[in-house]
Amino acid sequence: MERRGFGIVTRAMSLIISVAVTALVGLGGVVHWSDAQDVKPKAATVDKVFPSSNKCKRCHERVFEEWETSPLSKSIHSPVFRAALDEYLTFSGGKEKALCFKCHAPHVNLFLDQVQTFVTQTQSSDPTIDGVGCAQCHLIKQIDRTSNPPLPKYEPGKTLYGPYKDAVQNLAHQSMDLDLFRKSDLCLNCHLSVPAAANLGKSNDLLGNWETSKAVKSGKECQTCHMPEQVGESANGENKRKVANHTFPGRIGKLRQEAAKLEVATEVKGDQTKVTITVQSLVPHNLPTTHPAWARVVLELNVRGKNLKTVFTDQRSYGRVFADAKGQKTVFDFAATKVLEDTVLKPEETRVETFTFPTPKDTRTFDVEAALNYAPVGGPPSFLQRIEAESSKGSQDPAFQPISIFKKTVNVPVP
């Protein structure tokens, strides 16, 4: 997915890398895909057709280290996913085991007869396969948008696909330029809709009318924001140039600070004060995108009076509230049959919220603090306890912490 340097080295370095790779192969350190080029997926193991990203690190250390910090690297191994998978398998009675992996490990589409391997690996404390790693993206040759959700069309073999025309021959793998890697289509097979929520139809679209947004009309693709250009090297030892960032910033990373902004206006009228907060989404898709089903963005208002004591607090929540077949609220996509409430911020939408409260007494000024945060994971106590048990950090796991998007504080004089 890099902008310049997908699977390549400069021509000056190609011979050096080829020699190094040859040495690694001779030592049993296989870093190429040649073993899989003539193997039918159903006749091979998962890790044979889709080698671990750890093997790519040997030549692409910078890319690997960025990916390793990203949510994609944890797509099937995070405590939250493991707990959610257990909930789904219990709910479904063990049927359609591949459903969650359609996005969290999309190469399952080639290994439906080996889906138990994906389940076992996910539940393992020492997994050896990736969910969304190097091969899971760079072996995609086409995205079929006629299916719902769109399906990746893989071409297993030793050719890796990417966005660059200047690939250099090397012994690790062959490289081929595809325009797909410069387009949002590459991301749609996982980020357009949720297979587990298929019974909700269009009522659980993840992105909203993103294709009509100002950002898209101006020529921006998903990669523009979520794989921003930077200066670095693609393969170890090559000259630095423009490459794509592989931390995939979004909810995690500084990019979230550009997702929205707040404007705060106050009006003090004697014993009553009105605060008007304008929330402006700056992203070309829904905020939040509505998977997982507990995803929410929360606007919090805190008013502090004398000695900074909190005298008023209130909030607004943006997201979707789902009901199951019994009409009970649920945070699980696979159990949802109806949308009870939809307050999602639509692409580039501006929302105005009004709060009224008693004017703080015995003070010359008071502070109005408005904060927009991603809410922590939610759900029934048993589910949250399962996440805590799965995590090495227990109750301190980041999933249980709000993530700040934007905060603004205004000091208001009392007439």
Peptide bond into 149 cis (omega under 30): yes
| pLDDT for position 127 | 82
159-162 and 174-177 beta bridge pairing: parallel
According to the model, what pLDDT value does residue 168 have?
Answer: 63
C-alpha span between 49 and 31 (Å, rounded):
12
pLDDT of residue 236: 85
DSSP state of 333: G
* CA dist., res. 34 & res. 14, Å (int): 18
Q: What was the pLDDT predicted at 128?
A: 87
The pLDDT tens digits for 84-126 are 999 999 999 989 999 999 999 999 999 999 999 999 999 987 7
At position 10, the amino acid (one-letter code) is T
User: How many whole angstroms separate alpha carbon 347 and alpha carbon 289?
Assistant: 10
Quick check: 128 and 121 in contact, CB under 8 A? yes
Closest CA to 16 of 237, 174, 176, 232: 237
- Contact by Cβ (8 Å): 219, 213: no
Residue ranges of the chain whose pLDDT lies below 50: 1-39
Query: Which residue type is seen at 255?
Result: L
Per-residue pLDDT tens digits for 156-207:
988 999 887 776 677 788 889 999 999 999 998 899 888 888 778 777 789 9
- Which pLDDT belongs to residue 27? 29
Q: Provide the CA 21 distance to its chain's centre, in angstroms.
A: 33
Q: In the prediction, which pLDDT does 30 show?
A: 36
Domain 254-413 has CATH 2.60.40.10: yes
Closest C-alpha among 415, 277, 298 to residue 356? 277
Phi, psi of 339 (to 5 degrees): -95, 115
Q: Is-contact 282 360, C-beta < 8 A?
A: no
Give the per-residue pLDDT at 43.
55
Distance, CA of 108 to chain centre: 19
**Tokens describing residue 176:** 């081929």
Domain boundaries, the chain: 11-183+221-244, 254-413
Burial class (CB in 10 A: 0-12, 13-18, 19+), 362: exposed
CA dihedral 115, 78, 161, 49 (to 10 degrees): -30
pLDDT at 42: 54
Rounded distance between C-alpha atoms, residue 155 and residue 145, angstroms: 17
Report pLDDT for 41.
Answer: 56
